[in-house]
Amino acid sequence: MKASEQILSRMKSHKTLLCCGLDPDISKMPKELIEKNISDENKILEFLNGVIDVTSSHVCAYKIQKAFFDIFPDGHNALKETVSYIHRYYPGIPVIIDCKIGDIENTMEAYTKNLFEIIQADGVVANPYMGDDVIKPLSLFTDKAVLVLVKTSNPSSNIIQDVRLENGQLFWHHVLTLVVNRWNNNSNMIPVISTTGNVNLKEIRNMVPDNMPIFLAGIGAQGRSYSNLTQLINSNNTGVIINSSRSILYPLSHNSWQDAVEEEAVKLKNSLNEAIEK
C-alpha cells in the first residue's frame, strides 16, 4: 500500500488527523532522561521510543526532522533505529523524514538511497525550487509519500511564495498546480500548505484530488488556528494531515512525562475531530 493510502486509511480507522513530529531536543527532554549516564543518542532513542509507545494509537503518521539527529556523532544510526522501531512495533504508520531535499542527478540519487534504502523512510519533504529534476525522480518511488513545499508557515515565506507572476497567479499557487497536474502521475504527492497569508482553503481543496492528502503546516507550537479545517477535508471527512511536534513532546504537566505526552496527543486529536465535525 502506498504511504499516502496508509495515511488516509489510518485517518479513517483510528479517527485521527494527527501527525506527531519526532524532533528530539535534549535540553527539553525529561530530567530523568537527561541525567542518565548514557550517550545522547541513547537518551534520544529512549525518549522517542516512549513517545511512540504512547502516541501510536492516536496518529496517522510520524514526521521526523532529520536536523535534530545530524548534530550527534551517531545520529544517523539513531534516526535509522527510530524508523525501525516504528516499523517493527507499529506497522502501518508511515514515517516521513523532513530534510527538505531539493537537488539534481547523482545528489538526488544519494539522498534517496540514504532515506529510502538505508533509513527505510516512507516519505520525505522536498523543496521544488529546482523543478522537475527534484520532484520527478521522487515521483518514481510510487510507494513513498513526497511532501512538496507549496505554502509554508514561516513569517518571511511571502517574499518568495507570494510573488505574483505575469498571469496574475501567485508563485505558491503555481507550485500547487504543478504538484497536482504535473508531478502526481503516480499518486504519491502531498502538498504542504499553511493557513497563513493569502490562502483560499476551499479553492485549494477543489484543486486537490479527493485521494490526495494535504499537509497543513503551522499548527501546534507555531500557534495557528484550525478553525477553518472543514474547508480542507475531503469527502470522507479526512485528507488533512496536522503535524504537531513541540506541544506534544514537551508539554507542561505534573504527570509522568509519558502520561503528559499521551494526554497532549489525545487532546489535540480530539480537538481536530471536533473542528471537522462542526
**Percent of all residues in the chain with a pLDDT value above 70, rounded to a whole number:** 95
C-alpha–C-alpha distance, residues 161 and 132, integer Å:
18
- pLDDT exceeds 50 at position 205: yes
Question: Which pLDDT value is given to residue 201?
Answer: 87
Contact 147, 124 (CB under 8 A): yes
**What percent of the chain is predicted at pLDDT more than 90?**
87
Reported as a single tens digit per residue, the pLDDT across 44-97 is: 999 999 999 999 999 999 999 999 999 999 999 999 999 999 999 999 999 999
CA angle (151 as vertex; 1, 113 as ends), nearest 5: 45
Question: Over the stretch 133-173, which tens digit does the pLDDT of each residue have?
Answer: 999 999 999 999 999 999 998 889 999 999 999 999 999 99
Give catalytic residue positions: 100
Query: How far apart are the C-alpha atoms of 251 and 260, rounded to whole Å?
Result: 6
Q: How would you class 179 by CB atoms within 10 Å of its CB: exposed for 0-12, middle for 13-18, buried for 19 or more?
A: buried
Which residue did the predictor score with more confidence, 240 or 155? 240
Let me know: does 228 contact 194? Beta carbons within 8 Å: no
CATH of residue 66: 3.20.20.70
Give the model confidence (pLDDT) of 34-55 as tens digits: 999 999 999 999 999 999 999 9
Position with higher pLDDT, 278 vs 243: 243
- What residues make up the domain containing 195? 3-277
Q: DSSP assignment of 173-203, as one string?
A: HHHHHHHHHTS-TTS-EEEEEESSSS--HHH
Read off the pLDDT of each residue in 173-195 and give the average, rounded to a whole number.
96
Query: How many domains does one find in the chain?
Result: 1
